[in-house]
Amino acid sequence: MKKWLWTMLFGTALVLGACGGGGDNGGDGGDSSGSDGGDTSEAGAAEELFQNNCASCHGQDLSGGAGPDLTSVGADHSADDIVNIIKNGKGQMPAQSQVSDEDAQTIASWLAEKK
In a domain, residue 24? The reply is no
In a domain, residue 31? The reply is no
Percentage of residues in the chain having pLDDT higher than 90 = 63
pLDDT of 12 reads 72
Q: What is the pTM of this model?
A: 0.65
The yes-or-no verdict on residue 100 having pLDDT over 80 is yes
* Bigger pLDDT: 12 vs 55: 55
Can you tell me the mean pLDDT for 88-107? Answer: 95
Specify the number of domains making up the chain: 1
In a domain, residue 84? The reply is yes
In a domain, residue 50? The reply is no
pLDDT of 5 reads 72
Question: Residues annotated in the binding site for heme c, as ranges?
Answer: 54, 57-58, 93
Can you tell me the mean pLDDT for 33-49? Answer: 70
pLDDT tens for each residue of 42-71 = 889 999 999 999 999 999 999 999 999 999
Residue-number span of the structural domain to which 110 is assigned: 62-115
The CATH number for 108's domain is 1.10.760.10
Question: Residues annotated in the binding site, as ranges?
Answer: 54, 57-58, 93
In a domain, residue 57? The reply is no
In a domain, residue 40? The reply is no
The 3-class secondary structure across the chain, one letter per residue, is: CHHHHHHHHHHHHHHHHHHCCCCCHHHHHCCCCHHHHHHHHHHHHHHHHHHHHCHHHHCCCCCCCCCCCCCCHHHCCCHHHHHHHHHHCECCECCCCCCCHHHHHHHHHHHHCCC
In a domain, residue 43? The reply is no
User: At 98, is the pLDDT very low, low, confident or very high (cuts 50, 70, 90)?
Assistant: very high
Percentage of residues in the chain having pLDDT higher than 70 = 74
What CA–CA distance (Å, rounded) separates 13 from 11?
5
In a domain, residue 23? The reply is no
